[in-house]
Amino acid sequence: MMNGVIVIDKPAGKTSHDVVREVRKALGIKKAGHTGTLDPLATGVLPVCLNEATKLAGFLTGDDKEYLANMLLGVKTETMDTEGKVISRSGNFVSDEEIKSLVSRMTGKIKQIPPAYSAVKHCGKPSYKWARSGILPDLKPRDVTIYSIVVEKIDFPEVTLRVACSKGTYIRSLCSDIGDALGTGACLNGLRRLQSGIFSEKMAVDLRDYAGDDKKEELIKKILPMTELLPLTATIELKDHSAAKLRNGWQPSVEMLKEYDLPLLKAGDMVKFINGGYLLAVAQMLAPVDNLSAFDGKTQAAKIVRVFNYS
């Protein structure tokens, strides 16, 4: 069974779901899903989880992102990108210095209101469905972090920005906010995701470059194995007898873990259990490693949150 993540270079004009469907068909598998939706307008890094790796999707969507964005000044649209209906135009001119000065002040933790035309849920329904029916939902501001934002190029009225940000950041909203602050209005004219956590565009497969068996072979060749995912999470290599217990539904006890050379983990830290070259489970520590001796051996030391079946 194929398990792991393939990084796809999503082309413009396709939805993230379209890409997943194409990967699923090319590999002949039933279970696949993406992490971090890209709008049809956007291109670039789209990690696709295969089979057992879909259980890790929730851990991967929280990763930081990096984008290359093209912003069009002087135009505001309903969707905050050039695919939406134009609601205003401005002939106001701003200098390169004004743009760079304003953009340089956009870093740090900010409050951002998601676009009305987005998948953010409002009263149990995606916001874009309300917007398409003529109702603009009252979406609440969210805390997001802009780690860095660099002006790569200015060819007025277009501005190219490189943005490193936290999960949940809407680049459309960022462009709109910059346009409002400049007094010109703005919308997103193009977007490419360069990085999503550990996944970069250098790893990405452009499905348009392959067909038939060649596509399948290239995808199989580019599968990142489960053991290479969550690289910042501490790893414990289990012996066969401990691995068998976890496969049978046991939760890791203090006694079980004491026989291993454990990394320094606190209560609440995540840990990966590996056996025989396979990612067996992901767990959350319930007790600090440096204090395990204070607990009875039968005390549960960690809670399994994901277990993987390769049969």
Q: What CATH number was assigned to the domain covering residues 4-63+198-226?
A: 3.30.2350.10
As a dihedral over the C-alpha atoms of residue 221, residue 195, residue 37, residue 207, rounded to 10 degrees, the angle is -30
Print the SS3 string covering 220-288.
HHCCECHHHCCCCCEEEECCHHHHHHHHCCCCCEHHHHHCCCCCCCCCCCEEEEEECCEEEEEEEECCC
CA angle 148, 149, 153 (to 5 degrees): 145
pTM exceeding the 0.85 threshold for the entire prediction: yes
CA distance 236 to 261: 8
pLDDT score at 122: 65
Measured CA to CA, the distance from residue 269 to residue 301 in angstroms comes to 11
Euclidean distance between CA atoms 170 and 114, whole angstroms: 7
Q: Which pLDDT belongs to residue 117?
A: 66
Name the fold adopted by 70-182. Pseudouridine synthase (3.30.2350)
CA dihedral 30, 36, 39, 40 (to 10 degrees): -30
Active site residue 209: no
Residues of the chain with pLDDT under 70: 117-118, 122-124, 128, 131, 134
Residues in contact with 158: Cβ distance below 8 Å, sequence separation at least 6, in sequence order: 70, 71, 72, 73, 189
Q: What is the DSSP string of 81-111?
A: BTTSPEEEE------HHHHHHHHHT--EEEE
Check for a shared fold between 4-63+198-226 and 233-307: no
Peptide bond before residue 115 is cis, with ω within 30 degrees of 0: no
Whole-angstrom Cα distance, residue 197 to residue 47? Answer: 10
Helix/strand/coil percentages in the chain, nearest 5: 30, 35, 40
- pLDDT, tens only, 249-286: 889 999 989 888 888 899 999 999 999 999 999 999 99
Catalytic residue selected from 39, 63, 81, 177 = 39
Instruction: For the chain, give every domain's residue range.
Output: 4-63+198-226, 70-182, 233-307
pLDDT for 116: 73
For domain 233-307, give the CATH superfamily.
PUA domain (2.30.130.10)
CB 113 within 8 A of CB 94: no
Q: What is the pLDDT of residue 118?
A: 66
pLDDT tens digits, residue range 213-259? Answer: 999 999 999 999 999 999 999 999 999 999 999 888 889 999 989 88
